[in-house]
Structure 1
Amino acid sequence: MIFTVANQKGGVGKTTFLINFAYYLKDFKNKSVLVIDTDTQANCSYSLCNANIIGDTYSLFTDDVNILAAKISGIKKDEINLFKSTIDLSNENEFDNSINYLQNLKYLYTLFDYILIDTAPVLSNKLIYSLELSNYVITPIELEIYSLQGLSLMLNTIFNIKKNRNNDMSFLGVLPSRVITTNKRQSKNLEKLYSEYGQDLFLPFIKYRNDLANASASQTSFFKSNSKHKKELINVFDTIYAKM
C-alpha cells in the first residue's frame, strides 16, 4: 500500500503522525514499512535517523528502475526502511517528469507492505506525483485559523487528482492534530468544520501531548517512551488502520 500524508500548510503534525504511524505498522501490525521523505526540510529523515537508510529520495526521480534496483541493498523487513531527504530535492524545476518516480515506486511496492510518503507543505510536482500513486491519503490539520484557511485548497487538490488521475485513491479523512481539548477556540473551530464539511470526513483527533514532540526530537518511537498517553494514539491509529 502507498500511503501519503499531505497538507499544503506546515506545522500541522504531519511528520509526527507519519513517523509514529510507521512504528505502529511495524510494531503492532508486523508490517514491513518503507518511509519516503520528499520534504527538503528533512524533519522526517532527522527523526528517523536510526532507521535503515536504503537510499535518498532524489534518486527515485533521477534513476531508472534498473539502476535503483541495483543500488538498493540491505533491506531489513523488521526495521523501518528509509529513503532520506537531501538538498537535491530543492530544485523543483528538475521534477517535471514522473516516469522514474512512477516506475520506482511500483518496484518498491513489491518489496514492502506499506510505503509511507511524507510531503512538503507546498503544492509541488513531488506532491502531485505522490498523490497520483497513492492508495490512501490523510490530511492532518491544526485547529487554528491559518491551517483551516488552506484546508479547502488541499481537499480540492486531492479530490481533483482522485477524479482525473487516480480513481483508486481512497481519502481516509482529515486528521485534527495537536488538539487542546480545553481550548474553546479550537473546540469551536472543530465544530465549525464538522458543520461545513460533515463529520464523516474527519478522523478521531490527536490530542496535544508534549511526549509526542519529545519522542520526535529524541529520534525515538513514541511507543517506546514512558508516556502514559500511548493508548490514546493507538486508538486513533486502530481507527485509521481499520479504514484501509
Structure 2
Amino acid sequence: MIILFANQKGGVGKSTLAVLFANYLSLVQNKEVVIFDMDNQRSIYNKVQASKVLENNPLYEVEAAEMEQFSTIKEIVKEKEGLITILDVAGNIENDTLIPIFQGVDLIICPFSYDEFSVGATIDFSEVVKQLNDQAKIVFIPNRIKTTVKYETLESVNNVFSNFGAITKPLPERIDFQRISTFETPPVSFK
C-alpha cells in the first residue's frame, strides 16, 4: 500500500502527521513501514539522521528520494507484500513530476487548516488529484486547530471536502514537528 501525505498548502503538518502515522503503524499495528521523504526540505530524513547521532534506533526506514523515483518505489512495494509505504512530498500541484505519484497511490492523507488560504489550496489540490486518480481515497485531517477559536465556516468547509473524501476529527495545535521523533511517540493530552 502506498500512502501519500500531501496538500498544495505548505505548513499544514504533512511531515509531522506522516511521522506520527508511521510511528502508529510500526509501534501499535506492528506493520513494516518505510517513509520516502520526497519533500525538498527533507525534514523527516534530516530528523532521522539527527537521531542516529544520539544512537536512537528508528522504528522504520526513512529514505530521501526524488519524485522521479516513484516508479522504482512502486516496484519495491509490489515485491514486498505487506509493506506500507508513506510518501511525504512538497505539494505544488503545478509540478508535473507529481502526476505519476498522484496517479499511483492508494490513499492520500491531506492535512489542512480552517483558514481561507489553506481551505482554498486544499480544494484546488483535491480537484486536481481526483481528476488524476479517482480511485484513491482521500482523508482530510483538520490540523493545528485552536481550541479557543470558533470556526464559523467549519461545517460548510467539511461539506465541500466530503465531496472528495472523508474528514477526521480535528487535531489541536499542540502537536508539532520539533516534539516528535521516528523512534517513539511522546504522549499528548487532548484537553
Superposition TM-score tier, normalisation by shorter sequence: 0.7 to 0.9
Note if contact 1:51-1:80 (Cα within 8 Å) is conserved in structure 2: no
Note if contact 1:140-1:174 (Cα within 8 Å) is conserved in structure 2: yes
Q: Which runs of 5+ in 2 are unaligned?
A: none
Q: How far apart, CA to CA, are the structure 1 residues paired with 2:11 and 2:166?
A: 21
Equivalent residue, structure 1, for 2:61: 81
Deviation at 1:228, TM superposition (A): 3.2
CA 1:195–1:104 in 2, change beyond 3 Å: closer, same or farther? closer
Q: Does 1:6 find its partner at 2:16? A: no
RCO higher in structure (CA 8 A, sep ≥6): 2
Q: Which runs of 5+ in 1 are unaligned?
A: 53-75, 90-94, 233-244
Aligned residues: 184
CA 1:101–1:51 in 2, change beyond 3 Å: closer, same or farther? farther
Q: Does 1:130 find its partner at 2:91? A: no
Tell me the secondary structure at the aligned position of residue 149 of structure 1. Answer: helix
Q: Normalised by the size of structure 1, how large is the TM-score?
A: 0.66
Note if contact 2:22-2:33 (Cα within 8 Å) is conserved in structure 1: yes
Would you tell me which structure has more helix in proportion to its own residues? 1
Equivalent residue, structure 2, for 1:120: 90
Equivalent residue, structure 2, for 1:110: 79
Deviation at 1:20, TM superposition (A): 0.6
CA 1:21–1:50 in 2, change beyond 3 Å: closer, same or farther? farther
Q: Does 1:204 find its partner at 2:169? A: yes
Tell me the secondary structure at the aligned position of residue 154 of structure 2. Answer: helix
CA 1:129–1:51 in 2, change beyond 3 Å: closer, same or farther? farther
Deviation at 1:7, TM superposition (A): 0.4
Q: Percent identity?
A: 21
The one-letter code matched in structure 1 to 2:144 is: R
Tell me which of 146, 166, 177 is aligned to 2:143: 177
CA 1:198–1:228 in 2, change beyond 3 Å: closer, same or farther? closer
Note if contact 1:26-1:33 (Cα within 8 Å) is conserved in structure 2: yes
Q: How far apart, CA to CA, are the structure 1 residues paired with 2:120 and 2:92?
A: 14
Equivalent residue, structure 1, for 2:122: 151
Q: How far apart, CA to CA, are the structure 2 residues paired with 1:106 and 1:28?
A: 27
